[in-house]
Amino acid sequence: MYNWGRMRRVGVHTSIAGGLSRSLERAHVLGCTTVQLFSHSPRGWAVKAIPNEERERFASLRRDLDISPVYIHASYLINMASPEAALRKKSIAMLREEMDRADAIGADYVVLHTGSASGDDAAVSRRRAIGALNEVARSGRWAAGLLLENTAGERGDISSRVADLAEIFHGVGGTLVAGVCIDTCHAFSAGYDIRRDDGIRAVAEEIDHAIGLERVRLIHLNDAKGDLRSGADRHEHIGLGRIGTAGLRRFVLAAPFRRVPLILETPKERETDDARNLRAVRKMLFGEQ
């Protein structure tokens, strides 16, 4: 039997301190075959251009280290659904910047939390996010694809349900949106019981009907501090949360999802946390210690 497990791409979100290509080196040291990074500090609107040497260095290093796909996580400041026109405008400009930067370094995807209703009605906010995304889609063409991530169902979330993601996915024209990213912690907190076979089957069917399983281009593999339907966006170390090792294993090895790359966004409280969480995932996938 063909061993999909061995082919499975596994990585972690790594730091860009010291330059963007340092994230690739950090990923490689951890034995990763895929990576996620911020393209700049995610907490500020000011963004510095990526120097040409850094673009070239990133592209060649990534080839040498065989790290693929490369995912950029878009800035947390972006809120495509904001009722404030000024913030929406800044968000549109920032998302364009993220797409430009992805193309500059040859990243494959940009991952986006679509936004928060900020006290407004969720359906109205979703339509606002669709409008803002269409502005981005109309303003350019990029080699990188945008992935819409499911959220945990915190107050103001507009995309914690598959149907919500599907509405945004289908509402944006052009070639901007390539697919979706499914975060296990967010899905669980939003009420999808992905620990169980019937829960996995149900969510897979829902995604397949509403979006298409081939559009799932990334799994954010995180355990959850909060319980099922808690609505809490609180990531936990692999195996130490409410989903647990057996539940996460069942989900990542389930037929609909077993070829999708995995990126960990687990807590980094200690130096050794990434190595330990990656070891737990490899053991889950390959049976290694």
Q: Binding residues for Zn ion, per CB under 5 A?
A: 183, 220, 233, 265
C-beta closer to Zn ion: residue 55 or 235: 235
Cβ at position 263, least distance to Zn ion in Å: 8
Cβ at position 220, least distance to Zn ion in Å: 3
- How many Å from the N-terminal Cα to the C-terminal Cα in the chain? 22
Cβ at position 49, least distance to Zn ion in Å: 27
Question: Using CA atoms, how far apart are residues 237 and 265, in angstroms rounded to an integer?
Answer: 9
Cβ at position 160, least distance to Zn ion in Å: 11
C-beta closer to Zn ion: residue 125 or 222: 222
Structure tokens belonging to residue 10: 């596994």
C-beta closer to Zn ion: residue 33 or 184: 184
Structure tokens belonging to residue 36: 């996620």
Cβ at position 139, least distance to Zn ion in Å: 26
Residue whose C-beta lies closest to Zn ion:
220
C-beta closer to Zn ion: residue 164 or 183: 183
Q: What are phi and psi of 227, to 5 degrees?
A: -80, 170
DSSP labels for 33-88?
A: SEEEE-SS-TT-S--PPPPHHHHHHHHHHHHHHT--SEEEEPPTT--TT-S-HHHH
Q: Confirm if 259 and 218 have CB atoms less than 8 A apart.
A: no
C-beta closer to Zn ion: residue 42 or 174: 42
